[in-house]
Structure 1
């Protein structure tokens, strides 16, 4: 799979679902291991949502029939998880415009949905 260049960093999606991000200016790489994955349809394309505690990545499959490749289309800060004590969280839905993140914040099954 070809890498995607965004904000001065080269991103490559690996076969195991993780992402290698390399900044050629400072010659530094980091390995991003997503906590959650979601497949869906956004902007009339197959979309892969890969999320960590800090960031949510939306990747679209550009062409299914010829020379298919994943392209990073959105990078969203995962504010829902960082707003308080979060016991568990999940990315539930994405339609190309709206993203839904559901969190459980305490042991009394208090669930919050973010859009």
Structure 2
């Protein structure tokens, strides 16, 4: 279904290497979702599908699309803080171009697990 395509797009800011798309879109996208779209709107979106498969009270048309939009913005924020951490670790200046190693942007929990597994 189209949900899969949206999820793929939403995941693009998490890719390893350089993400031209993220560089290009993230600032504006995060600004749009956090400042220009009112919080009440996101509240109406609900939090996704419940365990029994029901939609948990999304009161909007096209919930999957809006969730992907929110998810893309969230992932932009994740990438930005991940890149910031890499810059700090590598002694780079803020805003300096940084290469995200495979497997891409991961959470601190995932990073700890990878280190623990080695």
TM range (shorter): under 0.3
Q: Which has the higher contact order (CA 8 A, sep 6+)?
A: 2
- TM-score normalised by the chain length of structure 1: 0.25
TM-score by length of 2: 0.25
- Where is the helix percentage greater, Structure 1 or Structure 2? 2
Name the structure with the higher strand share.
1
